[in-house]
Amino acid sequence: MSNGTLSAEVKADGAELCSLRDASGTEVLWQAGPVWPRHAPVLFPIVGRLKDDTLRHEGRAHRLTQHGFARDKRFAWLNRSATACRLVLHEDAETRAAYPFAFRLEIAYELDDDAIEERLTVTNPGRSVLPASLGTHPGFAWPLADGLDKRAHLLEFAEPETAPVRRLADGLLRAQSEPTPITGRTLALEPALFAADAVILPEPASRSVRYTAPGAPAIEVAWEGFRQLGLWSRAEGDFLCIEPWHGTASPSDFDGEFLDKPGLMLLPPGEHRTLSIRIRLC
């Protein structure tokens, strides 16, 4: 897709945005290196891990691994144009073995001037409540330009973020929160920040954040409908993930019925929920 200001590529596998370039052709997404072989995966029907990678429902145990299966499933194209596309995924025998619920997941992308918007819609076509989490996971180049020190980069939040953050242990949510590393509206980025895995804002006051560095174009990520924000990187990888989520990994002490898992969307039969993320180069 291209509109003269931005160009983007989306693949049917995972309905994943895999390239986002500005008018000069500069790529801003991480290009799926060995350290982390993805670009911007869709997280569904869970975000993070379940204890022992096990979903428990109505007395049965189902194996469902980290971040769910949508990122590894091939979506069907609904339409494609020069500046937009839509894809869809339905349940099948493979998904029901891991996640015993009927669902429809539609992902739409559209270029709009200097931004790309991703809309994610979950629909419940079944006869019982649909429990689900949904997340985005875009990885951006870090550093933003050749020659920049990683430690020169900042995240600037739209609002002060003073609340404690959550961290993970073995992929599960730790019981205790921690003081935020954010000072007012600003988070100074450095690789050591992610030595203990992701930094999770459980209830961010902001609905947008700017990723900046001196002498480099900024990236603004804005979201609607998502309740949490995850920030993640690996010391050996040149990427920073800014991840709006609805739902998190299971608390470390939770191993019960999936419908009781904290943070899920619970969609009644016939209903749907649309969440969105907008990435702007500025």
Per-residue pLDDT of the chain (282 residues; tens, 9 = 90+): 999 999 999 999 999 999 999 999 999 999 999 999 999 999 999 999 999 999 999 999 999 999 999 999 999 999 999 999 999 999 999 999 999 999 999 999 999 999 999 999 999 999 999 999 999 999 999 999 999 999 999 999 999 999 999 999 999 999 999 999 999 999 999 999 999 899 999 999 999 999 999 999 999 999 999 999 999 999 889 999 999 999 999 999 999 999 999 999 999 999 999 999 999 999
Confidence (pLDDT) at 75: 98
Closest C-alpha among 26, 31, 34 to residue 7: 26
Confidence (pLDDT) at 37: 97
The strand pairing partners of 244, in sequence order, are 229
Q: In angstroms, rounded to a whole number, what is the distance separating the alpha carbons of residues 26 and 60?
A: 49
Confidence (pLDDT) at 235: 85
Confidence (pLDDT) at 277: 98
Amino acid at 31: Q
- The hierarchical CATH code for the domain 7-281 is 2.70.98.10
The strand pairing partners of 118, in sequence order, are 109, 277
Q: Look up tokens 């029907």; give the residue.
A: 45
Per-residue CA distances from 58 to 61, 127, 171, 220, 265 (Å): 9, 15, 25, 43, 18
Q: State whether residue 82 is helix, strand or coil.
A: coil
Domain ranges (residues) in the chain: 7-281
8 Å CB contact between 8 and 15: no
Confidence (pLDDT) at 107: 98
8 Å CB contact between 272 and 121: yes
Q: In angstroms, rounded to a whole number, what is the distance separating the alpha carbons of residues 134 and 220?
A: 21
